[in-house]
Amino acid sequence: MNGKRERILHSAFHLFTTRGFHDTPTSLIAREAGVANGTLFNHFATKEDLINQLYLASKESLVTAMKEKVDPKDDIRSQILTIWRNSMNWALKNPEQFNFFRQYSNSPFILNETREEGRQQFVPFISILEKGIETHVLKPVSIDLMLSIISGIISSTVEVLFRGAPGKPSGEIMEKAFMMLWDSIKI
């Protein structure tokens, strides 16, 4: 990734999550990235294009992390547990990307084409869920509902971890939250 483009993305992640879309002019993003405003537009046609690229970049980063050490030979629960841990660790290591994704995943600024491109990145994980449904390990519900449930529990758990839970180690919180997740999707 180009150094200037990467700095623009990093600055935009931070500014969009702290100031919002409308209160983040491209001139501020460029200034924070240490580039000229014209340079921003050399990489992104519009502010809307930038936010769509951020959406895809955050999904790509998450998917890359989610894939680590997932063994297709493992049972469905073990695969989902690995994906869960990877997702949680990614969110804790990348709070700006996580917060951006959480804030903008349902935003009207994200184009339907961008959403579909992002969804395609999740095909390997969707396949695991479909296999779990087909083999009667997971509840026979729509994949969209299952993904929404998983996403919601991840988001809630990360929020608790970001705030800090007095007297509870983060590993314990993550494991208990996974048990709640597993109980909600398994047969």
Among positive and negative, which fits the CA dihedral 91, 94, 98, 99?
Answer: positive
Mean pLDDT of all residues in 124-153: 96
User: What is the third-level CATH fold of 55-185?
Assistant: Tetracycline Repressor; domain 2 (1.10.357)
Burial class (CB in 10 A: 0-12, 13-18, 19+), 28: middle
CA distance 143 to 185: 11
**pLDDT tens by residue, 58-111:** 999 999 999 999 999 999 999 999 999 999 999 999 998 999 988 888 899 999
Question: Can you identify the CATH homologous superfamily of domain 1-44?
Answer: Homeodomain-like (1.10.10.60)
**pLDDT tens by residue, 105-125:** 889 999 999 999 999 999 999
Query: Per-residue confidence at 10, pLDDT binned at 50, 70, 90?
Result: very high
Query: Per-residue confidence at 1, pLDDT binned at 50, 70, 90?
Result: very low
CA distance 98 to 164: 17
- Average pLDDT over all residues of the chain: 94
**pLDDT tens by residue, 141-173:** 999 999 999 999 999 999 999 888 666 778 899
Give the DSSP H or E segment for 53. helix 47-67
Considering the chain, tell me which residue range(s) the CATH 1.10.10.60 domain(s) occupy.
Answer: 1-44
Q: Specify whether the CB–CB gap between 93 and 148 falls below 8 A.
A: no
Helical segments of 68-185, H only: 76-93, 95-104, 112-121, 123-134, 143-163, 170-185
